[in-house]
Amino acid sequence: MGRLLQLLSRASASNSWWPGCPEFALPDVVPDPPLKVLLVVAHPDDESECAATLYRITHELGGVVDQVIVTNGAGGQNFSTPALDYYGLSRNEGIAKLLPSLRRREVMGAGRIIGIRHHYFLGQEDAGFTLDPGEGLRSWDLPRLRHKLRNLLHSEQYDLVLTLLPAQDTHGHHQTVAVLALEAAAAMPLASRPAVAGVRAGSPANGTVPVFSELTGFPATRTTSGAPVWSFDRRTPLKHNAALNHSIIVHWVIAEHKSQGMFQMEYGRHTHEYFLQFATGSERWDALWQKFAELGPVTRQLATAEAA
C-alpha cells in the first residue's frame, strides 16, 4: 500500500480554474498553436482510441490538445487483478477503493506521452459498464457538466472537439458524453463553433471500420455521412524516424493503464483511427483536414452511406 500511495502522491495535480476539478498542465505550451483540440471522454483510458492522431497533432503539427474526463473511473475494477502486485495490493477491494485516484494517475501518464496540455476531471459517478446512455443522464450532475463544457468551449475557442463515437454497441457513458459535448457545441454561435467528430479505432483487415449515422433518440448525434470522413493508419512512420511508427505511441498509452486488464488485451488489434463528422459542428472541417494532411500520409475516406 505504501508504494501505491507514493505513486499517487506524485500524480497530484495543480490547482484548476474550475474548483474541485484538478488540472494537469504541460509546460512550454505553444502560445499561438496552429490547431486547438478538445477531447471529451467518459473515462480515464478513452484517450487511447485516438492516441496516434493526438500525438501527431501535438508533436508533429505543434498543436494543442486538452482533455475533459467526465467520470471518476470507479467502475473499472472488474479486470484489475493483474495490477494488484504492481501496485502493492492484496485484495480487489483495495484497488476498487483507490481506483479513481489510481486511474487519474494513469491517465496523466498517458497524457504526458500524447502531449495533452490540460486534463479537466469532472468526477461524475461511474457505476460500471452499461449500454444505456440514460444511466449517465439520470445519475450525473447535468447542469454542472453542461455549464463547464460551454464555458470551456467559449473561453478556449477550440478548432475541433473530439468524442468517442456514440454507437449503440459501445459503453453508454461514451454515448452520453458525446451527446453532452454536441449540445455544448450547438449552443455556440455558428461563426465560433468548432468542428465536432466522433472517433473509433478499427481495422479494415478484420472488418471493424465503423458505420454510424445517428444514435437513436438523440438527433444531435447525426453525422454528415454514415462512414468515416477520414482515417489515420497507426502504422504511419514517425516524423523523425521512418523505421518506427505511431503504433508505438498507442502501445505506450495502453501500457500506462495497468489497472485495466481487459483494456490491455486491445494491444495490436486496431490499425486505424476513424473519424466521423457530426452535422452539429461548424463547416471548418476541410480547413482542419488540410492542416493535418500537410504532415504526410493520411487517408480521406470516401463516404459510402449518407446519414438519414
Walk me through the domains of the chain, giving residue ranges and CATH numbers: 2-300 (3.40.50.10320)
Residue type present at position 67? Q
| pLDDT tens per residue, range 236-266 | 999 888 899 999 999 999 999 999 988 778 7
Backbone phi and psi for residue 194, each to the nearest 5 degrees, phi listed first: -75, 160
Tens digits of per-residue pLDDT, 17-74? Answer: 333 344 444 444 456 888 999 999 999 999 999 999 999 999 988 899 999 999 999 9
Cα distance from N-terminal residue to C-terminal residue, the chain:
54
What is the spatial distance between Cα 9 and Cα 174, in angstroms, rounded to a whole number? 29
Handedness of CA 214, 215, 218, 221 (dihedral sign): negative
d(CA 140, CA 149): 14
The span from the CA of 297 to the CA of 233, in Å, is: 8
CA distances from 83 to 101, 106, 126, 236 (A): 14, 12, 20, 31
Number of H helices, E strands in the chain: 10, 11
Q: Give the pLDDT band (50/70/90) at residue 294.
A: low
Residue 77 binned pLDDT confidence (cut-offs 50, 70, 90): confident
